[in-house]
A and B are shown apart, each in its own frame.
Chain A
Amino acid sequence: MTTTAEQLSATTLLRFATAGSVDDGKSTLVGRLLHDSKSVLTDQLEAVEHASRNRGQEAPDLALLTDGLRAEREQGITIDVAYRYFATPRRRFILADTPGHVQYTRNMVTGASTAELAVVLVDARNGVVEQTRRHAAVAALLRVPHVVLAVNKMDLVDYAEPVFAAIAEEFTAYAASLGVPEITAIPISALAGDNVVEPSAHMDWYGGPTVLEHLETVPVSHDLTGCHARFPVQYVIRPQTAEHPDYRGYAGQIAAGVFRVGESVTVLPSGRTSTIEGIDLLGDPVDIAWAPQSVTLRLADDIDVSRGDLIAPVDDAPVVTQDVEATVCHVADEPLTVGRRVLLKHTTRTVKAIVKDIPSRLTLDDLSQHPAPGKLVANDIGRVVVRTAEPLALDAYADSRRTGSFLLIDPADGTTLSAGMAGASFAAVEEPAAADDDAEWDF
């Protein structure tokens, strides 16, 4: 490893997720990224070689690097999201390695929920298939800012440009129509190592970045100046010590935007207003703080603020509502039904709620809408209408992944039932005309 000193200087962090069907070569791509970035260490490789030999396999099975559970190794499949860590001289990476099985849509949703980039894998021989559309739809739904289409197995189509171009064009048109803001298509062979870490010697016609190069250079955060500032209060810090008899700070992680000392703010849902008197960044006073910093805000007025409240600028506060319309991905085995009483966890606030309506369910295969399905079962994505017992300061998920997302929880045993995204589903899509039923897939 010759890059040690440089690797230590890598400063930014990119969280990304991979998605691909069972035989698209996702494990090989992940293995290649880890291996070629020298993130697989000797003892891990030895363990894989040993385990592979015990199974009677001649070559080390790189999937054993990522399939960590007994059941996964027994069945040779990935049943759960795993997180991997690697670094290059330019950046640190957290990879959510999500299983590709159709029945594990919830796992891709889980992986994509914190990802800033999703890699969607396609087999060059098969092109864009149902599963590809499903992955693109989930990435769009979760509002992953960057999507990479990795057209894999280019070695099996003679590295032919037209094959890549046709797939890239079809996928880009499709994903753009879903509202995916940025798509980068890269022709690769994960097995041979073309364009994964090293540029390919077989595809002169491709002038773009390798997968790793793109991961290293893609911008990691949005321009915050345009974001609505949001601060969910997590915990009230009151030392009540001789040294700090009057300290009263509201601890939390800034969900979006920027806060400054002197700014006028409103506390929701009460609507009381005050001014930010001070911001403490883990013990040190600062004048300005931004997402996703964990800070403590001190207000000029002694007003009632507690866990679950949301602090926002006076002139840019979200609307407070008890009627939530959202898209949910149902993640529990037990179905979600109309009339079901649930808990809704939004930022730091958990309230009682009731499912008033399930207007539609989405078929990911063809993105068609099934009206009034009555219930959602595991891995279903659908529209819901929920009435909450207390008002929530809820943004549209399109505006803020952090303050527009919520969980539905079973009040009886605490099971996480559904992952919710408030508001309309895809911002880029125009409201469909009432008569144009064929084009309607707004879920």
Chain B
Amino acid sequence: MTTVATVQEGTDNPYALSHLDSLESEAVHIFREVAGEFERPVILFSGGKDSILMLHLALKAFAPAPVPFTLLHVDTGHNFPEVLAYRDRVVAEHGLRLHVASVQEYIDAGKLRERPDGTRNPLQTVPLTEAIQQHRFDAVFGGGRRDEEKARAKERVFSLRDEFSQWDPRRQRPELWQLYNGRHAPGEHVRVFPISNWTELDVWQYIEREGIELPEIYFAHEREVFNRNGMWLTAGHWGGPKEHEAVETRLVRYRTVGDMSCTGAVDSDATTLDAVITEIAASRLTERGATRADDKMSEAAMEDRKREGYF
């Protein structure tokens, strides 16, 4: 006796979609659901590859009409200038509306205090949640992917947040079929993650297939960096390097793009999409493990920040 029931012959099905087409179709469906059910959606747009991918998918979802959403960027004040330039170029090119919530303004006004370690990533939560309340956004698209981190793996595609933007992982709505439940009370909103099911490799392969332009810091370039806690950080006005930290010029690129104070560069000679994809496929480190300091703070760092309203 071998198998008890027989397996169908695995004939080539002409109707089978490629994995990228399946993911694209699913993400587009999610964008259109939000457009159909919410009053004031917004896309979180940082100029990083995941938010660039989201914008590209939104453009395709509503073509030939314009994207029916505005954009929101939480500017930490320590963002990469190349990325900010890219952000402004894309916004102008597609005639989009961009809101900017500024961490620096909060610090200058005394509403937020700089952390001793200089990291501003956790400081984004307050400007983000206040911007959501102020503009009465009821659906907030984020580029979070479940493959990034174990708390994110538990995240729903539609994630209800209370008036304080808090995430309660134990009280999530079960999510069945493709029937997303976006009902919410006034003051509450829903975080929406259209690329939940994409992996880092999927993102890069899709960017290559679609010929999407990215900020140049995603590709190998010479940069002045210094080593802190095993990561190559960019020297700059944000507060690095300290006296004992030596600056050197290295050939690097970025796998993620966030605040300069906590986003590390990786050694790389990948100057093309093809080379980047080959490099990622061979990497034995996740993108967050390789380049994000804030996730290393504790075992549940991401979960704790998400509970407070982080995206």
Q: Are B289 and A69 within 8 A (Cβ)? A: no
Instruction: Give the contact stretch, choosing among A108-116, A129-137, A422-430.
Output: A108-116
In the assembled complex, the Cα of A401 lies from the Cα of B35 at a distance in Å of 24
Supply 20 A–B pairs (Cβ within 8 Å), ascending by A.
A1-B282, A8-B281, A41-B289, A44-B286, A68-B154, A73-B299, A81-B174, A83-B146, A84-B153, A85-B199, A114-B176, A182-B5, A184-B7, A207-B2, A219-B10, A253-B25, A282-B63, A406-B179, A414-B160, A414-B181
Q: Mark A208-235, 1 if CB is under 8 A from B, else 0.
A: 1100001001111101100000000011
User: In chain A between 5 and 42, which residues have their CB closer than 8 angstroms to a CB of chain B?
Assistant: 5, 7-8, 10-13, 41-42
Closest 4 CB pairs between A and B?
A414-B183, A43-B289, A68-B150, A13-B19
Q: How many residues of B contact A (CB 8 A)?
A: 77
Checking A8, A43, A208, A221 against B13 with a beta-carbon cut-off of 8 angstroms, the contacting residue is: A221
* B99 at the binding interface (Cβ < 8 Å): no
Checking A5, A11, A87 against B201 with a beta-carbon cut-off of 8 angstroms, the contacting residue is: A87
Q: Are B17 and A4 within 8 A (Cβ)? A: no
Q: How many residues of A contact B (CB 8 A)?
A: 105
Q: Are A184 and B169 within 8 A (Cβ)? A: no
Instruction: Please give me the residue from chain B that is nearest to A290 by CB atom.
Output: B15
Q: Mark A49-76, 1 if CB is under 8 A from B, else 0.
A: 0010000000000000111111101000
Q: Are B13 and A220 within 8 A (Cβ)? A: yes
* B249 at the binding interface (Cβ < 8 Å): no
In the assembled complex, the Cα of A292 lies from the Cα of B19 at a distance in Å of 12
Given A43-B290, A252-B32, A283-B64, verify A185-B4 contact (CB < 8 Å).
yes
Q: Are B286 and A219 within 8 A (Cβ)? A: no
Checking B4, B196, B205 against A8 with a beta-carbon cut-off of 8 angstroms, the contacting residue is: B205
In the assembled complex, the Cα of A217 lies from the Cα of B63 at a distance in Å of 36
* A189 at the binding interface (Cβ < 8 Å): no
B41 to chain A, nearest CB (A): 12
Q: Mostly helix, strand, loop or mixed at chain B's interface?
A: loop
In the assembled complex, the Cα of A406 lies from the Cα of B173 at a distance in Å of 15
Checking B33, B176, B179 against A234 with a beta-carbon cut-off of 8 angstroms, the contacting residue is: B33
In the assembled complex, the Cα of A94 lies from the Cα of B160 at a distance in Å of 23
A343 to chain B, nearest CB (A): 8
Q: Are B286 and A43 within 8 A (Cβ)? A: yes
Query: Which of A5, A43, A110 has most chain B Cβ within 10 Å?
Result: A43
* B136 at the binding interface (Cβ < 8 Å): no
* B50 at the binding interface (Cβ < 8 Å): no
Q: Are B64 and A239 within 8 A (Cβ)? A: yes
* B251 at the binding interface (Cβ < 8 Å): no
Q: Mark B271-286, 1 if CB is under 8 A from A, else 0.
A: 0000001100111111
User: In chain A between 245 and 270, which residues have their CB closer than 8 angstroms to a CB of chain B?
Assistant: 247, 251-253, 258
Name B residues whose Cβ lies closer than 8 Å to a Cβ of A.
Answer: 1-5, 7-8, 10-11, 13, 15-19, 21-26, 28-29, 32-33, 35-36, 60-66, 146-147, 149-154, 160, 169-170, 172-179, 181, 183-185, 196-197, 199, 201-202, 205, 277-278, 281-286, 288-290, 299-300, 303
Instruction: Please give me the residue from chain B that is nearest to A93 by CB atom.
Output: B19
* A186 at the binding interface (Cβ < 8 Å): yes
Q: Are B26 and A182 within 8 A (Cβ)? A: no
Given A85-B146, A251-B61, A253-B25, verify A172-B174 contact (CB < 8 Å).
no
Chain B residues with Cβ under 8 A from A70's Cβ? 300, 303
Q: Are B25 and A71 within 8 A (Cβ)? A: no
Q: Are A219 and B11 within 8 A (Cβ)? A: yes
Given A44-B289, A51-B299, A244-B64, verify A182-B32 contact (CB < 8 Å).
no
Q: Are B16 and A182 within 8 A (Cβ)? A: no
Instruction: Give the contact stretch, choosing among A152-160, A161-169, A313-321.
Output: A161-169
Chain A residues with Cβ under 8 A from B183's Cβ? 343, 409, 413-414
In the assembled complex, the Cα of A95 lies from the Cα of B158 at a distance in Å of 19
Q: Are A79 and B170 within 8 A (Cβ)? A: yes
Query: Which of A70, A235, A280, A406 has most chain B Cβ within 10 Å?
Result: A235
In the assembled complex, the Cα of A140 lies from the Cα of B183 at a distance in Å of 30
B166 to chain A, nearest CB (A): 15
Q: Are B33 and A68 within 8 A (Cβ)? A: no
* A82 at the binding interface (Cβ < 8 Å): yes
A181 to chain B, nearest CB (A): 9
